[in-house]
Structure 1
């Protein structure tokens, strides 16, 4: 009997354990932290052996394959030890993909991947049998076990791509590549770029790579590292022969001489970056033969993603906006770019080696006050101190929102767009976003 060790008892870990057991593996789950109660109950109910707050090395090294949670870095001693023993280490998407014949649409990128994946699923869902998984919702492994959809849209992080071997999406999408998570890639941007491009590494000419042709990082990488896939670029600025481009408030998509034109004046999502997300998602839909009418209607009724430029409430003519999902500078760039009123900006958290320079022009033009919300705000205070009249710091969301309420005047925006990870003060970006929304509702 083959043995599977799962490192990390979260959503992807427990999903993998369930699928592994169903496929005849002897499964053991080990988590150095505490496994959440709901996941413990699932493991107990399914008679899967587990341990938490500890790794029993002898039980881990005695295995055929290890599925490691994307949150565990390669530099951890245990992971090095596993690799030195010649044991195969895979990510959940790699393990799960061996048990399905579904058409896979894999979506990665530094920003926009959640919105693009959710929107792509929304466009396909009316006409196809399709699941949404990966970095989002129920794990890919669990869905294969419970639903076995004919198609999957997967939101995939670079950490998940680092441990793929044979994983091959029929359609791969790279939304953009900007410096992020450099702490996991020895502060080498090149390592991170290579990691993102692993999404296409097993693709052949029968598969497709959809990417942002306006992103110089992607374009330059493709010049020196060509892929086998059929390329379908999308652009806001240049007409594209095969792929998608934007002209006169319309998206024009051409695949194999089959052209469709989508007016987007009634699209619910705002901002240039969302036009790009819509181009990527619509290109997938056109490729999978979704009717033009369906694509257009779906673009017009899509509600967006929680914690991503989410309009919470208007109080005294001040709009409160939750963009907690902006965990890097580039995401915050898009948020500030789309602000059309003087803005009180709540920023901060765990800095991943951020360079804030690209935000300077927007801060000078649009931001009237800055509230730093983190354990260590020194870098933010010194970077932005001279650019705005008011800059304050706090370690409590409720206080940040109260200060914003005092500073904002009729017609202003209050924007939570942290540009940083959330782990210093919050459980994750969702927790941070919910605390913001609760604080706004309690004003």
Structure 2
């Protein structure tokens, strides 16, 4: 038994997976959560005989840790983290910890928008091609749990900025950066550069034999690459072909040029609609070609992929009005993409926990496309301040049922009712999934 004490802060998916892996690796393990641990996770900890506490942090134990693995949701500003830092204790993320115990190839995806769709698409392509691959990070079972219990040759990881913060020696074999737009600024002292720095950590430690795939039309990303001058091999993609573009569109087709092979496919055959999904398909396709997936296999996977729940998910058409669940749009840029892909007048439901949002990004689209706005949140004052007077009909709702009933009355035949909140869900719902599920249920009950 290794006498080293690993303390895990946070008893959710990430923390519990870490505790299981640490125990398997022979460490002494203690898990601490300042809140209540869900029954499901409490049962798992008990079945693995892992010592844990909830509703408190016992400093006497925590400060004795040789290393602390912190769940991504816990900010650096929390008191216990501050005390550990003062003591000089090594604090890392679950992703960093788990990566020490696997020799699998790591394909890592980040970006303010499109991460979940892209990791699921890459996973779908690789799995359909017969590779032994796991999907984890910000989706599904935690990376640490899969390293402890499975034996995959490849992992596709969705990495949020919070998860990237705790990376030190971690190295992605293939890194994908889709875009960087303002998000989570409340976590980053309202300093956009701090958020950008967290996102750019995805290329930390990458070497010339590794791959970095990025959207070259993003001014922030291109500026950072010029500044950082990483030695990694770059594979830029964009809407149109420029000097170094590897993936692009032309004459209604998608093109990917890697390893001397030119893959092409009609855009209308892609499973996912909208320009933002063309980018997600380009990024995923470049990954596939770098991993020698055949053209035929890639074509099939890009055309038969089933989208991600809560992301522009078509729910039902009721009396000629289509209802779309985009509950995963927890920032303004996500809502911008959703509105951009609407072809009809739209009744837009938005609101929730504001993360320092700037709504001017969707101002023009709301004016041109929105028939009505429904604000669904505990405090809609910021939304009213920005949007009042710009759209004829603006209503407030304090529950999902009220919002859907209002939308039903306001929408006209041929319209779309779109739930694309721009905000986190924690004021009225457990999470964005709960918000989307409630929307779907209310729509089906119309």
Query: Given the alignment, which residue of 356, 378, 382 partners 1:379?
Result: 382
SS in 2 for 1:28: strand
Provide the rounded CA distance (Å) in 2 between the counterparts of 1:384 and 1:54. 42
The CA distance in 1 between the partners of 2:251 and 2:144, in whole Å, is 42
1:147 to 2:150 alignment: yes
Q: C-alpha separation between the residues in 1 aligned to 2:362 and 2:134?
A: 36
1:239/1:246 contact within 8 Å kept: no
Give, in angstroms, the shift of residue 361 of structure 1: 1.2
Q: Which residue of 1 aligns with 2:137?
A: 134
Cα contact 2:259–2:290 (8 A) shared by 1:
no
87, 112, 127: which one aligns with 1:110: 112
* Local SS of the residue matching 1:223: helix
Give me the whole-angstrom Cα distance separating, in 2, the residues matched to 1:240 and 1:432. Answer: 44
Q: 2:72 aligns to what?
A: 70
2:26 to 6, 12, 24: 24
The answer to whether the 8 A contact 1:3-1:26 is kept is yes
Deviates more, 1:382-391 or 1:369-378: 382-391
TM-score by length of 2: 0.98
CA distance in 2, matches of 1:277, 1:93: 23
Match for residue 347 of structure 2? 344
Q: Quote the Cα distance in structure 2 between the aligned partners of 1:295 and 1:387.
A: 45
**CA deviation string 1:157-194 (max 9, x = no partner):** 01001011111010000000001111111111111111
Report how many aligned residue pairs link the two structures: 443
Asked if 1:326 is matched to 2:326, the reply is no
Residue 195 (structure 1) aligns with = 198
Unpaired runs of at least 5, structure 1: none
Q: 2:254 aligns with which of 251, 255, 260?
A: 251
SS at match of 1:335: helix
User: Paired residue for 1:433?
Assistant: 436
Offset at residue 120 of structure 1 (A): 0.6
Alpha-carbon distance between aligned partners in 2 of 1:241 and 1:327, rounded to the nearest angstrom: 33
Alpha-carbon RMSD across the aligned residues, in angstroms, is: 0.9
- Contact 1:11-1:139 within 8 A present in 2 as well: yes
- Aligned equivalents of 2:238, 2:294: Cα separation in 1: 22
Secondary structure class of the residue paired with 2:15: helix
Aligned counterpart for 1:354 among listed residues 357, 367, 375? 357
Give the equivalent residue in structure 1 for 2:98.
96
In the alignment, structure 2 segments of 5+ residues that lack a partner are none
1:36-64 deviation line (CA, Å, top 9, x unaligned): 00100010011000100111011111111
Task: Tell me if the contact between 1:31 and 1:54 (Cα under 8 Å) persists in the aligned partners.
Answer: yes
Q: For 1:259 and 1:3, locate their aligned partners in 2 and report how far apart those are by CA, in whole Å.
A: 52
Q: In 1, Cα distance between the equivalents of 2:7 and 2:235? A: 38
Q: Could you tell me which residue of structure 2 aligns to residue 58 of structure 1?
A: 60
- In structure 2, the residue matched to 1:404 is 407
Give 1:414's aligned residue.
417
